[in-house]
Structure 1
Amino acid sequence: MFAAPAIVAAGTTFTCTPTAVWDGDGPIWCAEGPRIRLAGVAAREIDDSCKVEQPCPKVSGKDARDRLVLLLGGPRGMLPTGHIVVRSEPLQCQSQGSAGGSRTAAWCRSASVGDLSCAVIRAGGAVQWDRYWGGHKCRGANGERSR
């Protein structure tokens, strides 16, 4: 039996090399162990539902997932669980603590797309979730404000 991935403590900076994606806001499975729920955004579930009291984007769950997958280098296959396999450059992430279950809420950025939460909003796969957005500022790949 496998142990559930550990939650990365809030405030901790960590590296995530994405290996698989479930839907438009995560979880993103990291080669290093954590499973990330992108901080500050909401996307439809794969079955196209939206949770109560959560913003609900117009795009389907699969379309949202596919937009995130493209930001992470494109699909490389599918696992038996339905997760899309990706091979992406490492992300630098800042944990916001538990996102429920075995997921870590995190703000992540990569050299090519910058702030991943902001990039998935720009790509149309998710919407900003004000409840969790706080004072977050979008930063581009070079660290400059992009939104």
Structure 2
Amino acid sequence: MSLLLLLAAFVAGGADFTCTPVAVWDGDGPIWCAEGPRIRLSGIATRELDESCKPGHPCPPGTGKAARDHLVKLLGGPRGRLNTGHVKVRAPALRCTSMGSGKGARTAALCAAPKVGDLSCAMVRSGHALRWRRYGGDRLCSR
């Protein structure tokens, strides 16, 4: 991937944008958007797919696979796999607000799905994720 494409896919902090999800890696992202950005859900941490938790990150109970599968379900369910291992999804457009860099080529973002509302809060309420102050995790989610 070229540096120009990576820069074009990053959404500046504070900007509102639309993401039509096409693929998911794990429970907190990245979510690949048809429009280009790759989103890391803000304010939460889930286990990695190898069941580890990165140093300094909250470490929720449950498995990384279960967290990923729950996020995929919230987005509308699986539609197959990409050769990269990502789960393909077909979902309605999300309304997102960028919180800035999500490290690498990812945009940290707060995103709302039409039927679910705030995805980060939905992941916390499900027990698959824990709140993480990084990138906006200090806000409250309604129950």
Normalised by the length of structure 2, the TM-score is 0.92
* Cα displacement (A) at 1:124: 2.0
RMSD value over aligned CA atoms? 1.4
1:18 aligns with 2:21: yes
1:52 aligns with 2:55: yes
Q: Which residue among 82, 88, 93 is the counterpart of 1:79?
A: 82
Q: Does the 8 Å CA contact 1:68/1:125 hold for their aligned counterparts?
A: no
Structure 2: runs of 5 or more not aligned: none
| Aligned match of 2:125 | 122
Report the Cα distance in structure 2 between the residues aligned to 1:98 and 1:132, rounded to whole angstroms: 9
Report the Cα distance in structure 2 between the residues aligned to 1:120 and 1:134, rounded to whole angstroms: 12
1:37 aligns with 2:75: no
Percent identical among aligned pairs is 63
| Aligned match of 2:69 | 66
- Stretch deviating more after TM superposition (1-10 or 14-23): 1-10
Q: Does the 8 Å CA contact 1:28/1:36 hold for their aligned counterparts?
A: yes
Deviations 1:99-142 (A, max 9, x none): 1000000000012000010011112221111344354233xxxx
Which secondary structure does the structure 1 equivalent of 2:97 belong to? strand
Structure 1: runs of 5 or more not aligned: 139-145
1:88 aligns with 2:91: yes
Normalised by the length of structure 1, the TM-score is 0.89
Deviations 1:42-72 (A, max 9, x none): 0011111110010001111111100100000
Report the Cα distance in structure 2 between the residues aligned to 1:85 and 1:134, rounded to whole angstroms: 27
Which secondary structure does the structure 2 equivalent of 1:130 belong to? coil
Report the Cα distance in structure 2 between the residues aligned to 1:123 and 1:69, rounded to whole angstroms: 13
